[in-house]
Structure 1
Amino acid sequence: MASSIFTTFLCRQQRFLALTRSPVTAQLYTRLASTSVPQPPQTKTDLQHLKNLKVEYQDGIAVVQFSQENSKVNTLSRGMMDEFIPLFDHLQNDDKVKGIVVISAKPGSFIAGADINMLESAKSRDELFKISRNGQEIMNNIEQSRKPIVAAIAGSCLGGGFEVALACHYRIALNDKRTGFGVPEIKLGLLPGAGGTQRLVQKLSLPDALDLVLTGKEIKVKKAKSMGLVDDIVEPIGPGLQPTEQKNIDYLRSVAVQKAKDLTVRKPTKKEPGLVESIKSKIMSSSYVQNYIFQQATKKVMSQTQGLYPAPLKILDVIKQTVASGSKVGYNAEAEGFADLGMTTESKALISLFHGRTECKKNKYGKPVKEVKNVAVLGAGLMGAGIAHVSIDKGYNVILRDMTSKALSRGYTQISKGYQNYVKRKRITTAEYDNILSNLECQTTLANFGKCDMIIEAVFEDLQLKQKVLAEIEQNIPEHCVFASNTSALPIHQIAANSRRPEKVVGMHYFSPVDKMELLEIVRAKKTSDDTIRSAVSVGLKQGKVVIVVGDGPGFYTTRLLMFAGAEVFRLLQEGATPKDIDRATKKFGFPVGSATLFDEVGIDVAAHIARDMQTVFGARLGDSSMPQLFQDLVKNNLCGRKTGQGLYIYQAGVKGGDREINPKFTELIKNYSKEAKEKTTMENIQWRTGLRFLNEAARCLEEQIITSPTDGDIGAVFGLGFPPMKGGPFRFIDTYGVSNIVDLMNKHRNTYDERFAPTQLLVDMAKDNKKFYS
């Protein structure tokens, strides 16, 4: 399961949902939250106690430094804005000040956005509308300043921070890795609400503006310059490390101050468009071309989102109104759209996921007694090579060990190609590539294992094999060394059954492809020590993962949910539903890949192995006794899924998605296991039957303390299984739909079908007491 559960489909969904991996840019991206503009200070004394801003004066230029109190990054917090607005008014009225530079006093962060908690505090649509209007007014005041304002940008310039920069008269950016621009509000189910949609349409071509706002992607400095979003670039003096970093900021500041001084003499001249640009502009001004662009954008949005996310469609509507009727209408449409989206359950769900993801990127367990520096990965297959890939650029010395040189060669090729792709995309330099690969040692022996702090085993999913590997490795590693098994379903206590130090054995369930999938499910057995958990969590977070710690047991959390929902999928197939019926219904519910196709992607042979073990433990609650045999028959007939070219579907080169043919061999074989349908199989019937099994088992895992919180459950389900992000995860969805309503539906299905739909006691008790998972 760990080697194949995640496909391109889930990668796409995570790219839409998952925010950038930088801890700076994870401080996302909402609008200003005060509903009225604070009054200017009455005395100079008010400006002597600034907590979030610093002001210095140089040759008639006021240098305003953002320096948010008690924070590693700058955000547009209420405190920041309560100081900025009166300070801005003061500088406008100070005759000694000829121009203004805005810059950050914090490394790596110009302004990373604003405090989401402020947005969540809004109680009504009217309040959200006022928040947007207030933000627009502030940005318009900056733009209309009679004194030139230069933005000196180093670090993340995102969301509301980007809108501040766009409102300034001139933008100068430091060309380093941490400087990036974007409006990622769409990832929270919102749109830029402080004039961002309007200024981007003014500054960019319509396709470029739509691309930036609809994807929420971050662009780097040179790309921003080529698009006209940055006016000038400052190259770093050195490699970007202290103390050079401060020198770079000082240099950026000096360039910005000089530019502000120049602009006090002459305003920035707008570059006259060349012939090509003039022709492009003329073409883009055609209503026919504009309508075509909007039609294509709408078509793409619907294809990618199934129409389940309100924000992209609302953004298209706002920009369409702007293009058709001008910015006066556009600003109002933006504020209306912001208010509408802020009240949607989809936005609230996505914001909940943002909070959950942020929480799961923190170390709640503390530092281990001995820091992990040297890591060995056992098995150079897809998973093992992937684990090595995400470790060698994080400061770890990594040994990749396999039994044969041929296997090692394949693993090394996979890793090196991944980093070569980073070089092509200019994420790293050739020198950095060489340095990263130097941290990897490939070998067929156990040499130097005595120096390892952690072993991550990624061999074939077989209990006896994993036990054998552990026994061998324990003879060659120091006492402090942690042994982590990358398994998707095998109980950790069974793997450690013969270990002489079971307290050092832990599960680390990675998801494939490891370099793209963020989730790491760390599995704690009863004998696993606290310090072992601290080591595993520390390594996972350093590898850039979103980490949840779960209890031991068959399938742990993610695989267990997948198999319970999957059991209902196969029951529906036995009742006459087709794989395409299943896929249409589950994709329409919001999953990135249909639940029938998912089994072909996972590998039916893998599912058969897991189903057999889980059926032994869970019995009829999972499914009737025919299910493991059905899986075995599929495997015997070589219907293992994509890997063998046939499963529920037939896989042929060039044939994609809905065009694939249902496998006639599967259609014939499933007849041997046919069941009578007790209700008509409709799209809604498929969605609720599979969905209720998923939701109920998630609640049962919380009840059994397999997971410790609804947050971990939602993060695991969304980032691990592709549960629809716009629904926030199973626990957020249950809250939104109503616990009592879910219990009633389960009881209805229980009466129609059987006890497999019986609601878990936790849900029954919560319904009785009218409780929610989230307050």
Structure 2
Amino acid sequence: MTDAIRYEKGPDNIVVLTLDMPGQSANTMNAVYREAMAKTLDRLEAEKDAIAGVILTSAKKTFFAGGDLNELVKVTRADAGDFYRMVLGIKGQLRRLETLGKPVVAAINGAALGGGWEICLACHHRIALGESHVQLGLPEVTLGLLPGGGGVVRMVRLLGIEKALPYLAEGLKVRPDQALKAGLIHDIAQDRDELLAKARAFIAANPGAVQPWDMKGYKIPGGTPSTPAVAQMLAIAPSVLRDKTRGCFPAPEKILCAAVEGAQVDFDTAQLIEARYFTELTTGQVAKNMIGTFWFQLNEINAGGSRPKGPARHETKKVGVLGAGMMGAGIAYVSAAAGIEVVLKDVSIEAAEKGKAYSAGLLDKQVARGHMTHDARDAFLARIKPTVDDADFEGCDLIIEAVFENRELKGKVTAAAEAAALPDAVIASNTSTLPITGLATAVARPEKFIGLHFFSPVDKMPLVEIIRGEKTSNETLARGFDYVLQIRKTPIVVNDSRGFFTSRVFGTFTNEGIAMLGEGVSAAMIENEARKAGMPVGPLAISDEVSMSLMTHIRNQTAADLQAEGRAMPQHPAFSVIDLMVTEYRRPGKAAGAGFYDYPAGGRKHLWPGLKAHFEKADRQIPQEDVRDRILFIQAIETVRCVEEGVLLSTADANIGSVFGIGFAAWTGGALQFINQYGLDDFVARARYLAEQYGERFEPPALLLEKAARGESF
């Protein structure tokens, strides 16, 4: 028997099947699995009369990881027929398992996600190890796919359409205790011995176990789509979904189709429906974009792809945070969450205490939800020390400055903190725009200086942009990278430049939206088309959040810096609109209660009616497609410029940074993948059209033209 599935029959006639793919750290539904499962089922069926039951478990740390993405990402439309038949083969195997006529138990000893959870669903009884690393669910939607191994069919039949949809269309993952409450599993075990003992006990007590959906008189919980309550929910579900996906993500829509259509037919027909939608998504471009970036490139980054290879791994023990405002408080929280001691300094003890209170507020919510004990909360908060005294930075091996975007202020506070910290401490700035090489002149050891650019709110945003200054050493860069992984964030590495990568590209997004408004384009169309393009919010709304007064401050600082270098500030058509909003209309943004939007107390924000009177012109409307393309193309073009100038060092950093840092349309797989999937020649042609119509900022950069001429992609 192949090693991929070990077959062991005990004296109690129970067969334990241990999933153990050779040469892999995790079990996946690849060709080796399919062949092993076929042989295993043949043997089970042949020896059925001498078998009391079957237990499925795993030899790996995880139970089963799911589909083989190396296989899935290569499937083209030309392969659709073969792929469809292969998927039906996998489903057929699981159907044979659950209709064997003997009780089958999943002894879930680790995470069972995607295909792993689908295997569990094909078992009559599910017992999970009650440990925090055990996660259960179907996250396929996050990679542009749907559960294709019977996950849609069985979840709908287990929970009903409405209760199954969050797991299917949102990729909701749960821990064992939540899974037990939701009815996904039947029992929890404290250790592996108990897991197997409970599995054996179930088999002994239930020799005739069958799946609920195979019992006579079975009905889908909550009813079929024709049941009045379900029909009412389904009447609005597509529009709610469309509001979330904006038509950019086909997977949630196909999941809804497979769930609803499958609930109106018998089990086997529902399996065919699911397989067809799965094949359609797998052969489509959006899934390829998302798998390439959010699986392969993200794993490449988290495995240290951009980290210097030489320096040994470093664990940060004590971090000093300068500035207890929104950013500093967030940095303190994520550091303390990783078990790091934090010193949080501000100009007054009240301000520093307020920064610590931010963590207390987040933790109190966790305690209220039952996700944390009071003792754990208190221990967490004890790791954060508010102060006004630089002497408290003694023993810090990392200092992070998070004060206002002012070069003199940043220089003053970092120099004082450096003097008090450990001699080899890394000194970092959370600046979003000011060049790191310039800020490093304020410290005694510029080789120890680095940029760590966090995004707001820090506790939720997954990215940290690490900026290497001219003098930053490899060891400092490696330590910065290790710290970002330690606080469970995703690090991208860029070289120093004004605005680095994310702020530069983000600036093109907001400026393009504001420039269109200045041309007379309808504000509502700009905002709506940005969301239809896949951006989470429109450029006018996000400009209000950032505040146009801050944009003006950064622009003035940049102009002064460039003037000192003997260079002129490049002008942009958005600047005049921003100046009007800030100085003439006194509407600098959300914090001031008025920007491009009005913010009525207790009501929903809405576009300021004055935009129609002051900016919009009926004869200056442009095609909707042009609005969408201006927003995506300008960001993609700026990303290419960052590659061309050596600011960006890898395609993975560009794609992950653009989506996780600035919300670039996730369906594209990131700013460079947007160009790849569009086709470089077609992208160049479209960029030239946009340049003719709307300005030379859309001219394709030389690097893009070279790659297109050579038939290469990014």
Would the aligned equivalents of 1:135 and 1:193 in 2 still touch at CA under 8 Å? no
CA distance in 1, matches of 2:379, 2:542: 38
Instruction: Give the stretch that moved more between structures: 578-587 or 500-509.
Output: 578-587
The one-letter amino acid of 1:624's match is: Q
Is 2:294 the counterpart of 1:339?
A: no
Would the aligned equivalents of 2:6 and 2:20 in 1 still touch at CA under 8 Å? yes
CA distance in 1, matches of 2:614, 2:560: 24
CA distance in 2, matches of 1:645, 1:409: 27
1:99 alignment partner in structure 2: 53
Aligned mate of 1:495, from 424, 431, 439 = 439
Point out which structure has higher relative CO (alpha carbons under 8 A, 6+ apart). Answer: 1
CA distance in 2, matches of 1:379, 1:233: 45
TM, length-normalised to structure 1: 0.85
1:631 alignment partner in structure 2: 578
How has the CA–CA distance of structure 1 residues 213 and 392 changed in structure 2, closer, same or farther, with 3 Å as cutoff?
Answer: same
After superposition, the CA RMSD in angstroms is 2.9
Aligned mate of 2:43, from 90, 101, 110 = 90
Is 2:243 the counterpart of 1:303?
A: yes
CA distance in 2, matches of 1:258, 1:694: 60
> How far apart are residue 326 of structure 1 and its match?
2.6
How has the CA–CA distance of structure 1 residues 703 and 298 changed in structure 2, closer, same or farther, with 3 Å as cutoff?
Answer: same
CA distance in 1, matches of 2:684, 2:74: 30
CA distance in 1, matches of 2:57, 2:50: 20
Q: What are the superposed Cα offsets for residues 694-733 of structure 1, whole Å, 9 maximum, x if unpaired?
A: 1111111011111112221111111111111111111111
CA distance in 2, matches of 1:683, 1:269: 51
> How far apart are residue 433 of structure 1 and its match?
2.1
CA distance in 1, matches of 2:220, 2:37: 39
CA distance in 1, matches of 2:643, 2:559: 20
2:203 alignment partner in structure 1: 260
2:143 alignment partner in structure 1: 188
How has the CA–CA distance of structure 1 residues 62 and 412 changed in structure 2, closer, same or farther, with 3 Å as cutoff?
Answer: same
2:19 alignment partner in structure 1: 66
3-state SS, counterpart of residue 451 of structure 1: coil
3-state SS, counterpart of residue 173 of structure 1: strand
Is 2:122 the counterpart of 1:167?
A: yes
CA distance in 1, matches of 2:179, 2:602: 36
3-state SS, counterpart of residue 582 of structure 1: helix
2:713 alignment partner in structure 1: 772
Q: What are the superposed Cα offsets for residues 403-430 of structure 1, whole Å, 9 maximum, x if unpaired?
A: 2121122211110111222223333333
> How far apart are residue 56 of structure 1 and its match?
6.4
Which consecutive unaligned segments of at least 5 residues does structure 2 have?
none
Is 2:488 the counterpart of 1:544?
A: yes
> How far apart are residue 53 of structure 1 and its match?
4.2
Would the aligned equivalents of 1:592 and 1:722 in 2 still touch at CA under 8 Å? yes
1:362 alignment partner in structure 2: 303
2:682 alignment partner in structure 1: 741
Q: What are the superposed Cα offsets for residues 179-213 of structure 1, whole Å, 9 maximum, x if unpaired?
A: 22211111111111111111112111221122221
Would the aligned equivalents of 1:294 and 1:316 in 2 still touch at CA under 8 Å? no
CA distance in 2, matches of 1:530, 1:113: 37
Would the aligned equivalents of 1:739 and 1:767 in 2 still touch at CA under 8 Å? yes
> How far apart are residue 290 of structure 1 and its match?
3.0
CA distance in 2, matches of 1:569, 1:602: 14
Q: What are the superposed Cα offsets for residues 604-628 of structure 1, whole Å, 9 maximum, x if unpaired?
A: 1222223334567899999636654
CA distance in 1, matches of 2:414, 2:222: 69
Would the aligned equivalents of 2:107 and 2:196 in 1 still touch at CA under 8 Å? yes
3-state SS, counterpart of residue 186 of structure 1: helix
1:17 alignment partner in structure 2: none
CA distance in 2, matches of 1:447, 1:581: 54
> How far apart are residue 494 of structure 1 and its match?
0.9
How has the CA–CA distance of structure 1 residues 766 and 233 changed in structure 2, closer, same or farther, with 3 Å as cutoff?
Answer: same
> How far apart are residue 232 of structure 1 and its match?
1.9
Q: What are the superposed Cα offsets for residues 484-532 of structure 1, whole Å, 9 maximum, x if unpaired?
A: 1111111101111232210000000101111111011000111100010
Would the aligned equivalents of 2:454 and 2:465 in 1 still touch at CA under 8 Å? yes
> How far apart are residue 755 of structure 1 and its match?
2.7
The one-letter amino acid of 1:259's match is: F
Aligned mate of 1:75, from 28, 38, 56 = 28
The one-letter amino acid of 1:99's match is: G
CA distance in 2, matches of 1:289, 1:231: 27
Would the aligned equivalents of 1:554 and 1:613 in 2 still touch at CA under 8 Å? no
> How far apart are residue 736 of structure 1 and its match?
1.4
1:111 alignment partner in structure 2: 64
3-state SS, counterpart of residue 191 of structure 1: coil
3-state SS, counterpart of residue 528 of structure 1: coil
CA distance in 2, matches of 1:758, 1:622: 19
> How far apart are residue 368 of structure 1 and its match?
4.2
Which consecutive unaligned segments of at least 5 residues does structure 1 have?
1-46, 237-247
> How far apart are residue 51 of structure 1 and its match?
5.2
Q: What are the superposed Cα offsets for residues 225-252 of structure 1, whole Å, 9 maximum, x if unpaired?
A: 2333212222x3xxxxxxxxxxx12221
CA distance in 1, matches of 2:224, 2:390: 64
How has the CA–CA distance of structure 1 residues 453 and 68 changed in structure 2, closer, same or farther, with 3 Å as cutoff?
Answer: farther
How has the CA–CA distance of structure 1 residues 58 and 424 changed in structure 2, closer, same or farther, with 3 Å as cutoff?
Answer: farther
2:604 alignment partner in structure 1: 656
Instruction: Give the stretch that moved more between structures: 213-222 or 83-92.
Output: 83-92
Instruction: Give the stretch that moved more between structures: 309-318 or 50-59.
Output: 50-59
1:317 alignment partner in structure 2: 257
How has the CA–CA distance of structure 1 residues 406 and 670 changed in structure 2, closer, same or farther, with 3 Å as cutoff?
Answer: farther
Q: What are the superposed Cα offsets for residues 524-566 of structure 1, whole Å, 9 maximum, x if unpaired?
A: 1111000101111101011111110011111100110111233
Aligned mate of 2:511, from 567, 575, 587 = 567
Q: What are the superposed Cα offsets for residues 22-50 of structure 1, whole Å, 9 maximum, x if unpaired?
A: xxxxxxxxxxxxxxxxxxxxxxxxx2x61
Instruction: Give the stretch that moved more between structures: 729-738 or 285-294.
Output: 285-294
The one-letter amino acid of 1:523's match is: I
2:498 alignment partner in structure 1: 554
Aligned mate of 1:290, from 209, 230, 233 = 230
CA distance in 1, matches of 2:211, 2:530: 54
> How far apart are residue 305 of structure 1 and its match?
1.0
How does 1:488-637 map onto structure 2 within 5 Å? Answer: 488-614=432-558, 624=571, 627-628=574-575, 630-636=577-583, 637=585
TM, length-normalised to structure 2: 0.92
CA distance in 2, matches of 1:596, 1:296: 29
The one-letter amino acid of 1:76's match is: M
CA distance in 2, matches of 1:486, 1:78: 47
How has the CA–CA distance of structure 1 residues 616 and 710 changed in structure 2, closer, same or farther, with 3 Å as cutoff?
Answer: farther
CA distance in 2, matches of 1:622, 1:78: 58
Would the aligned equivalents of 1:372 and 1:539 in 2 still touch at CA under 8 Å? yes
The one-letter amino acid of 1:652's match is: P
> How far apart are residue 329 of structure 1 and its match?
2.5
Q: What are the superposed Cα offsets for residues 109-158 of structure 1, whole Å, 9 maximum, x if unpaired?
A: 21122321121232321133123211211110111112321111132111
3-state SS, counterpart of residue 28 of structure 2: coil
Aligned mate of 1:353, from 276, 293, 316 = 293
> How far apart are residue 306 of structure 1 and its match?
1.2
Would the aligned equivalents of 1:374 and 1:453 in 2 still touch at CA under 8 Å? yes
3-state SS, counterpart of residue 475 of structure 1: helix
CA distance in 1, matches of 2:404, 2:365: 28
CA distance in 1, matches of 2:479, 2:18: 39
How has the CA–CA distance of structure 1 residues 162 and 421 changed in structure 2, closer, same or farther, with 3 Å as cutoff?
Answer: same
Would the aligned equivalents of 2:102 and 2:209 in 1 still touch at CA under 8 Å? no
How has the CA–CA distance of structure 1 residues 759 and 504 changed in structure 2, closer, same or farther, with 3 Å as cutoff?
Answer: same
Q: What are the superposed Cα offsets for residues 280-323 of structure 1, whole Å, 9 maximum, x if unpaired?
A: 95766744333222222212101111122111221222222222
The one-letter amino acid of 2:601's match is: A
> How far apart are residue 170 of structure 1 and its match?
1.1
1:695 alignment partner in structure 2: 636
The one-letter amino acid of 1:101's match is: I
Would the aligned equivalents of 1:622 and 1:756 in 2 still touch at CA under 8 Å? no
3-state SS, counterpart of residue 110 of structure 1: coil
Would the aligned equivalents of 2:15 and 2:54 in 1 still touch at CA under 8 Å? yes
3-state SS, counterpart of residue 264 of structure 2: helix
CA distance in 2, matches of 1:312, 1:294: 14
The one-letter amino acid of 1:113's match is: G
